[in-house]
């Protein structure tokens, strides 16, 4: 048996029990390890879905160019889909993303445009604005817009959610994931709550992001927005893929706590994962210590692989420069 192309390898990733970092915490705590996807991240799932839905809708035509704003992982998924289907890619990133992410995208044939991170979303220099402008200027191009494209959440409703239900044999009681575009957490949450309305969904946010306060107060507070270092979670906008009714609670995790937990996952669990994985695990375990019961089963999403962060989280000199290592 063989696959016809690399994108057919997407999905059916393993669920792995956490053993060391969960000592003393009740319940069973499992990690959904998404770096087993061919592009090494969970974003492969929604990338191929957005491309195929665009083809069906006539928005993406033969020989076309895919233009997207990305923190790196969605770009990789789109690039693999483009290679399999014969498209070109232009990806727009903010300058806070790791050099590894930029180099990986170039390695798979994409053109990369880097924009300043410390500008408002509607500033013409922001990566949202630049992606939209390039889409308007480039003939036969398609802008997936992962934030507001509901194919994002649909991909997880149809693949990731059912996988978790089957892998836990319906025993999952808590679902925890970082929130960026919102597609992963909300697509999975919708599916799981349809199977069991009591499944509790925990969204992990970061300081400098608007999500937690918006969920708790309904207020979009610009004072919540300030620069942070963790890549891939939190937002200064409200993406359409974030359905706040499907997320029961948000917990914020700081950059340092996320980075240190990421390193612990590698050393203590053998899970060489990305920075936002540390955010998800740190926040989920803080919740679990107080709330999980012995017969509960919590699943935490680990979105990507550690190779994207070799120059940052896994670099001792960089960590010391942040003041995060003794």
Q: What share of the chain is helix, strand, coil (3-state, %, to 5)?
A: 40, 15, 40
Q: Which of 43, 190, 215, 312 is catalytic?
A: 43
Contact between residue 31 and residue 271 where contact means Cβ atoms under 8 Å apart: yes
Q: Which residues contact 321 (CB under 8 A, 6 or more apart)?
A: none
Distance between CA atoms of 109 and 204, rounded to whole angstroms? 33
Strand residues in 49-157 grouped as ranges (E): 65-69, 88-94, 111-115, 141-142
- Residue 162, token pair as written in the block: 């059912």
Length of the chain counted residue by residue: 326
Lookup result for tokens 């290679």: 83
Q: What are the C-alpha distances in Å from 228 to residues 61, 205, 207, 231, 301?
A: 38, 11, 7, 8, 21
- Alpha-carbon distance of 110 to 313, in angstroms, equals 25
Q: What is the largest CA-CA distance in the chain?
A: 58
The answer to whether 55 and 131 have CB atoms below 8 angstroms apart is no
Q: Is 101 a catalytic residue?
A: no
CA dist list (Å): 156 to 20, 227, 295, 310 = 29, 29, 26, 28
Identify whether the C-beta of residue 204 lies closer than 8 Å to the C-beta of residue 283.
yes
DSSP labels for 167-232? HTTT---EEEEE-SSSHHHHHHHHHHHHH-TT-EEEEEEETT-SHHHHHHHS---GGG------SS
Find the helix or strand (DSSP H, E) in which 99 lies.
helix 99-107
What residues are annotated to the active site?
Answer: 43
């Amino acid at each position: 048996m063989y696959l016809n192309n690399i994108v057919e390898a997407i999905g059916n990733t393993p669920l792995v029990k956490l053993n060391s970092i969960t000592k003393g915490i009740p319940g069973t705590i499992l990690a959904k390890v998404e770096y087993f996807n061919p592009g090494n991240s969970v974003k492969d799932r929604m990338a191929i879905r957005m491309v195929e839905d665009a083809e069906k809708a006539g928005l993406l035509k033969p020989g076309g160019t895919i233009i997207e704003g990305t923190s790196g992982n969605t770009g990789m998924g789109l690039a693999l889909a483009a290679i399999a289907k014969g498209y070109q890619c232009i990806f727009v990133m903010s300058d806070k993303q790791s050099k590894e992410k930029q180099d990986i995208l170039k390695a798979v044939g994409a053109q990369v445009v880097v924009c300043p991170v410390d500008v408002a979303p509607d500033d013409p220099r922001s990566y949202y604005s630049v992606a939209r402008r390039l889409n308007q200027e480039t003939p036969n191009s398609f802008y997936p817009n992962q934030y507001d494209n509901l194919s994002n959440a649909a991909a997880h409703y149809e693949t990731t959610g059912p996988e978790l239900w089957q892998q836990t044999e319906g025993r999952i009681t808590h679902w925890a994931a970082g929130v960026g575009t919102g597609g992963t957490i909300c697509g999975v949450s919708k599916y799981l709550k349809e199977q069991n309305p009591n499944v509790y969904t925990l969204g992990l946010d970061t300081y400098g992001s608007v999500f937690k306060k918006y969920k708790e107060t309904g207020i979009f507070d610009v004072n919540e927005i300030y620069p942070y270092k963790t890549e891939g979670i939190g937002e200064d906008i409200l993406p359409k893929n974030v359905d706040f009714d499907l997320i029961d609670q948000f917990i914020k995790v700081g950059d340092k706590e996320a980075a240190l937990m990421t390193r612990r996952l590698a050393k203590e669990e053998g899970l060489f994962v990305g920075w936002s994985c540390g955010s998800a695990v740190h926040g989920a375990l803080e919740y679990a210590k107080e709330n999980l019961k012995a017969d509960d089963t919590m699943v935490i999403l680990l979105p990507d692989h550690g190779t994207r962060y070799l120059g940052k989280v896994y670099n001792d000199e960089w960590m010391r420069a942040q003041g995060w290592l003794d």
